[in-house]
Amino acid sequence: MSGSTLGTLFRVTNFGESHGPAIGCVVDGCPPGMALSEADIQPELDRRRPGTSRHVTQRQEADQVEILSGVFEGRTTGTPIALLIRNTDQRSKDYANLLDTFRPGHADYTYHHKYGLRDPRGGGRASARLTAPSVGAAAIARKWLREHCGTTFAAHLTQIGTIAIPFEGMEHVPNNPFFAANASDIARLEAYMDQLRKDGDSCGARIDVVAGNVPVGLGAPLYDKLDADIAHAMMGINAVKGVEIGAGFAVVEQRGTSHGDELTPAGFLGNNAGGVLGGISTGQDLTVSLAIKPTSSIRTARRSIDLQGQATTVETLGRHDPCVGIRAAPIAEAMLALVVMDHVLRHRAQCGDVHSAVPPIPAQAP
């Protein structure tokens, strides 16, 4: 299957299926000499893995990562780094009733028409489980970017279904199962999710992700714009149906006098552009928002067709997230990190010797 590789100089090729023996990726282009072990990667996978609360799928996967190549005596060699994550808790029998039918809102119908066959077990290649290798690959990128650029990545859930989540502080994100920057509304979110599960239904979500300490000058005009590559990567995340950079769709109601981020010697006076102008990073925070659709795999019976095109109904069994957005924050961080890492290496390759006479200004005026 083509279309499984992301990046130009920092290239990640993803492989595996939800119920296959293993999933993983090959990371090509990591600079040599960086200290790297499984301990650098595992914490990010632990943040994303299933079964961490009653509000997500109860599939119990340890997601233990193995480094198979590209590291010698604890340091990257510059050669491809292969990461392997073994599947240990598949329940393929839960999908036996889907062999001859198509789940509404799922990739079953399109996969069958494109390839002539499909793996229905847990969604096969279309499963959100395939985000785990990307998170693992991004842990490598995040470590390199942190050490060489000081770049950081942070995401949080800002809306779940009809409930907007007030921002109270990023310090709350690790302390609740929703990756919410909030401490006072968690009980309300839990009650909402409990009712959703009882109803056999699902809901969407919104995620905000920010990259800080981003070097100025990343990206290129036209087809290699930094924000275009960000949108491309984010739309590659399962269930993402919308991506906003900076002010996003709010720009429709803005005027030029308020949208254009003015520059002063003390810094930018705003960041409606989301840290990108003309496809090139400004040195401000990269700000991205994702709209995530409701989970397609639900227990409520839905109308569909079978392989003969006859009318039928489908009820999806198995273990599924009633809101896939709950575990999407680490994934959004990962995809942003992969894009930034690739563009840092591309910028270094073409423009590493460029020195501008214009003094840099702070990302934000005080």
Give me the CATH number covering residue 257: 3.60.150.10
Weakest-pLDDT range from 42-56, 242-256, 340-354: 42-56
Structural domain includes residue 356:
no
Cα R_g (the chain), whole angstroms: 21
Is the distance from CB of 245 to CB of 230 less than 8 angstroms?
Answer: yes
Mean pLDDT for 29-40 is 98
- At position 218, the amino acid (one-letter code) is L
SS3 category, 26: strand
Mean pLDDT for 328-340 is 97
Q: How much is the pLDDT for 89?
A: 65
Q: How much is the pLDDT for 293?
A: 95
Structural domain includes residue 154:
yes
Cα separation of 22 and 11, whole Å? 20
Share of the chain above pLDDT 90, in %: 69
Structural domain includes residue 164:
yes
pLDDT class of 92 with cuts at 50, 70, 90: low
Q: How much is the pLDDT for 342?
A: 98
Q: How much is the pLDDT for 93?
A: 57
Structural domain includes residue 358:
no
Q: How much is the pLDDT for 50?
A: 65
Mean pLDDT for 356-360 is 89
Residue 108 has pLDDT above 70, yes or no: yes
Total tally of structural domains belonging to the chain: 1
Structural domain includes residue 359:
no
The answer for residues whose C-beta is within 8 angstroms of residue 140's C-beta and 6 or more apart is: 27, 30, 36, 40, 41, 76, 81
Q: How much is the pLDDT for 349?
A: 97
Q: How much is the pLDDT for 335?
A: 98
Structural domain includes residue 360:
no
Residue 122 has pLDDT above 90, yes or no: no
Residue 141 has pLDDT above 70, yes or no: yes
Residue 321 has pLDDT above 90, yes or no: no
Q: What is the pLDDT of residues 206-232, one digit of tens each?
A: 999 999 999 999 999 999 999 999 999
The per-residue b/e assignment along 31-68, b for 16 or more CB within 10 angstroms, e otherwise, is: eeebebeeebbbebbebbbbebeebbbebebebebebe
Q: Which domain holds residue 176?
A: 5-351
Mean pLDDT for 280-287 is 98
Q: How much is the pLDDT for 95?
A: 58
Q: How much is the pLDDT for 113?
A: 86
Q: Please report how the helices 328-351 and 226-235 are oriented relative to each other, as an axis angle in degrees rounded to 10.
A: 150
Mean pLDDT for 128-154 is 97
Task: Give the Cβ contact number of residue 143 at 10 Å.
Answer: 20
Residue 53 has pLDDT above 70, yes or no: no
Mean pLDDT for 262-290 is 97
Structural domain includes residue 235:
yes
The answer for residues whose C-beta is within 8 angstroms of residue 323's C-beta and 6 or more apart is: 55, 160, 161, 193, 196, 202, 203, 204, 205, 292, 294, 295
Residue 90 has pLDDT above 60, yes or no: no
Residue with tokens 């009633």: 322
Structural domain includes residue 366:
no
Residue 158 class from Cβ within 10 Å (0-12 exposed, 13-18 middle, 19+ buried)? Answer: buried
Residue 51 has pLDDT above 80, yes or no: no
Q: How much is the pLDDT for 351?
A: 95
Q: What is the pLDDT of residues 163-198, one digit of tens each?
A: 999 999 999 999 999 999 999 999 999 999 989 888
pLDDT class of 306 with cuts at 50, 70, 90: confident
Weakest-pLDDT range from 131-135, 168-172, 294-298: 294-298
Residue 319 has pLDDT above 90, yes or no: no
Q: How much is the pLDDT for 252?
A: 97
Tokens of 236: 């590659």
Task: Name which residue leads in pLDDT, 90 or 256.
Answer: 256
> What does the mean pLDDT of the chain come to?
91
Residue with tokens 């109601």: 253
